[in-house]
Structure 1
Amino acid sequence: MARNPPEGTGPMHVPFGHVVANEKWRGSQLAQGMQGKIKIVFEDGLAPVDFYLSSRSCILYVTEADLVAGNGYRKRLVRVRNSSNLQGIVIVEKTQMSEQYFSAIQKFTVLDLGMVLLPVASPMEASCLITQLVQEQTKEPSKNPFLSKKRGQIPELSLLRTVQQIPGVGKVKAPLLLQKFPSIQQLSNASVRELEPVVGQAAAQHIQAFFTQPS
């Protein structure tokens, strides 16, 4: 049985191949999409965390309604970011209704907090993504180049997905960038001159603009 961490931001014991979910998601479309694929343990008192992937990695889920309602989600993100015990992945519903607010949360999450952000189009897509992240952590590192060497760390695939969301990058250029600049911090500090040999002038300018424009 999983044990609740103090104030929802401490290490959580997560059984191998499981995800520990906030009780509020019980019966939701998000949880239903994971059932039968991975094992879910529901717990009270996980706020601000929505899902624990492992003892030290967790998911914060920002719904379409959360984005439209304003910046209330920021406190949750900051609380996890300030916790030395946790690495957080932020999953955001990017829909037709919430798309106009997506740029703000993307810059706040990636630039201001240095956290991984993954957009999804629906709760069902999110359930598939969470299932994939849990399954990746059960694989052997030697067989999975996107998995961090130590279990409990965020899979590198999440970072790859984040870089793919930067304008002008996409699926082809993201892996090339991460070979040269293996972290968001290094990528954000890179100059156009450093980026050009990797992705070309146009993409280099897009990347620098993304990291230098105010949130």
Structure 2
Amino acid sequence: GKVRLIFEDGLGLVDFHLSNRTCILLISEADLVAGDEFKRRLVRFRNASSLRGIVIVEKTQISDQYYLGVQKLVVLELGMVLLPVANQGEASQLIIQLVSFCVREQSRDRSANPFLCKQRAQLAEPAMLQTVQQIPGVGKTKALLLLQQFGSIHRLCNASINELEEVVGQTVARQIYTF
């Protein structure tokens, strides 16, 4: 599948958003060697965010001495996922794999990605729309939603009560089901 990349300057503490629930924080070799600023950033993220954070850390010969402390902080104290990489090229490959995984997961749940454009309700044939509106409790708006979800009157008639409830709510779903 194709992934549309959006560059955003104001992500704050986060480096990459994979979905509306998961993000990546990247700790480079330079961040590790430079001091504790990355630790403050991780703690601020954990305290301020309900997102699931994945921390990617560049583990090299130079930064290896700091890795154990980072691992303890990220995994044990903050309860986040830690993924070590050897260099920035490996980090980019890992991010690509994580994006691919998230895209596959989100294809199962199209509403999960806030960046995906919502499909516009296709104008149903007037005769089909009028027919669905004859069902008690179904007006133009609900008729459009039902036709958008089920595509045809045949599929609408064969829908389970649970499928109907997801679109129009419990009361109207029962009216449709008994109709």
1:38·1:131 contact (CA, 8 Å) conserved in 2? Answer: no
- Residue in 1 aligned with 2:77? 112
5 Å matches for 1:69-80? Answer: 69-80=34-45
Which 4+ stretches in 1 moved above 3 angstroms?
none
- Residue in 1 aligned with 2:98? 133
Please report how far the alpha carbon of residue 52 of structure 1 lies from its aligned counterpart in structure 2 after TM superposition: 0.5
Q: Does 1:55 align with 2:20?
A: yes
Please report how far the alpha carbon of residue 40 of structure 1 lies from its aligned counterpart in structure 2 after TM superposition: 2.2
- How many positions carry a matched residue from both structures? 112
5 Å matches for 1:131-210? Answer: 131-140=96-105
Structure 1 unaligned regions, length at least 5? 1-16, 18-36, 144-149, 153-215
Please report how far the alpha carbon of residue 39 of structure 1 lies from its aligned counterpart in structure 2 after TM superposition: 3.4
1:64·1:94 contact (CA, 8 Å) conserved in 2? Answer: yes
Q: Does 1:88 align with 2:53?
A: yes
Q: Does 1:67 align with 2:67?
A: no
Structure 2 unaligned regions, length at least 5? 114-179
Relative to structure 1, the CA distance from residue 72 to residue 140 in structure 2 (aligned partners, 3 Å threshold; closer, same or farther) is closer
Give, as a single letter, the amino acid of the residue that structure 2 aligns with 1:93: E
RMSD: 2.6
Distance 1:71 1:109 in 2: 13
Report the TM-score, using the length of structure 2 for normalisation: 0.56
Distance 2:60 2:49 in 1: 32
Give, as a single letter, the amino acid of the residue that structure 2 aligns with 1:104: G
Q: Does 1:100 align with 2:59?
A: no
5 Å matches for 1:8-23? Answer: none
Secondary structure in 2 matching 1:131: helix
Distance 2:58 2:45 in 1: 19
Please report how far the alpha carbon of residue 45 of structure 1 lies from its aligned counterpart in structure 2 after TM superposition: 1.4
Work out the percentage of aligned pairs sharing the same amino acid.
59
Q: Which has the higher helix share?
A: 2
Question: Which structure is larger by alpha-carbon Rg, 1 or 2?
Answer: 2
Distance 1:84 1:140 in 2: 22
Q: Does 1:121 align with 2:86?
A: yes
2:20·2:112 contact (CA, 8 Å) conserved in 1? Answer: no
Please report how far the alpha carbon of residue 85 of structure 1 lies from its aligned counterpart in structure 2 after TM superposition: 2.7
Give, as a single letter, the amino acid of the residue that structure 1 aligns with 2:67: F
Please report how far the alpha carbon of residue 65 of structure 1 lies from its aligned counterpart in structure 2 after TM superposition: 0.5
1:50·1:61 contact (CA, 8 Å) conserved in 2? Answer: yes
